[in-house]
Amino acid sequence: MDFSMKRRTLLKVIVLGDGGVGKTSLMNQYVYNKFNPQYKATIGADFVTKELQIDDKLIWDTAGQERFQSLGSAFYRGADCCVLVFDVNIQRSFEMLSNWHEEFLKQVQRLITSHDSADPSDPESFPFVVIGNKIDLDCGNSRMVPVEKARDWCASRGNIPYFETSAKEGYNVDEAFLCVAKTAVACE
Ligand code: GDP
Ligand code: MG
């Protein structure tokens, strides 16, 4: 695929997953190459853009409403790709992927059927990317989710691409987001 032919300037990428899995850290690592070891629940929506060769990205992080699943439909409107993040060391954050996946599809479906918006996204073929984060902790034998399990989950949902990352060490973060960009552009 020839990305240089694309005229699109901004992609909207939604990053979802349980609180504390590293969504904000992944964004900060990707956009600023920075990592902050302190945990601050995101207050207000985070919008960051990073200019890449392929495109500009607009990344929408959850604003700390993970517990309430109360993200409004404006949050989802016009999304080009959805990134689902879990922590490979926390089983529950992996089990919750299905909820986040369903929640996203439900919201996209609602946007399509409502009259106020003509969102072109097709929920059947909507592009997702899954990230298993915090693999730097794995050397302490703390991994709870085997890579095969994560890959199976992705395979059974239309072959969603799967990446394992460390936002702390910057490992595989660029690769994951490059895939996000390609997946989003390929689906236009
Ligand atoms: P969010 O709630 O999903 O946005 O999670 P944050 O990005 O705020 O991260 C939650 C906590 O996990 C923070 O203390 C981060 O410093 C830490 N963290 C995030 N990513 C990693 C990682 O890859 N490795 C390690 N060891 N810690 C991480
Ligand atoms: Mg956050």
132-167 pLDDT, tens digit each: 999 999 666 788 999 999 999 999 999 999 999 999
Q: Say what the pLDDT of residue 2 is.
A: 46
Q: Say what the pLDDT of residue 166 is.
A: 97
Count of C-beta atoms within a 10 Å radius of residue 52 = 15
Instruction: Report how far ligand 2's centroid is from the alpha carbon of 1 (Å).
Output: 33
The one-letter amino acid at 36: N
Q: What is the pTM assigned to this prediction? A: 0.84
- List residues, by chain if needed, whose CB lies under 5 Å from ion ligand 2: 23-24, 42
Instruction: Report how far ligand 1's centroid is from the alpha carbon of 126 (Å).
Output: 27
Q: Say what the pLDDT of residue 91 is.
A: 96
Pocket of ligand 1 (CB under 6 A): 17, 19-25, 36-39, 42, 133-134, 136-137, 166-168
How far from 4 is each of 20, 24, 174, 177, CA to CA, in Å?
A: 36, 29, 19, 18
3-state SS assignment for residue 174: helix
Q: Determine the residue of 25, 31, 60, 94 to mutate for testing ligand 1's pocket, defined as the one with the most ligand atoms within 8 A of the Cβ atom.
A: 25
Q: Say what the pLDDT of residue 52 is.
A: 47
Tell which residue, 175, 185, 155, has the closest CA to residue 54.
185
Nearest ligand (C-alpha, residue 20): 1
Atom of ligand 1 nearest to the CA of 29: 20
- Give, using CA atoms, the residue closest to atom 19 of ligand 1: 22
Tell which residue, 32, 102, 107, has the closest CA to residue 77.
107
The two three-digit tokens of residue 161, written as one number: 């691409």
Mean pLDDT is highest, among 67-71, 76-80, 175-179, for 175-179
ipTM of the complex: 0.99
Nearest ligand (C-alpha, residue 87): 1
The one-letter amino acid at 185: V
Instruction: Say what percent of the chain tops pLDDT 70.
Output: 65
53-74 pLDDT tens trace: 444 556 666 655 555 455 666 6
With 70 as the cut, is the pLDDT of residue 17 above it?
Answer: yes
- Give, using CA atoms, the residue closest to atom 10 of ligand 1: 20
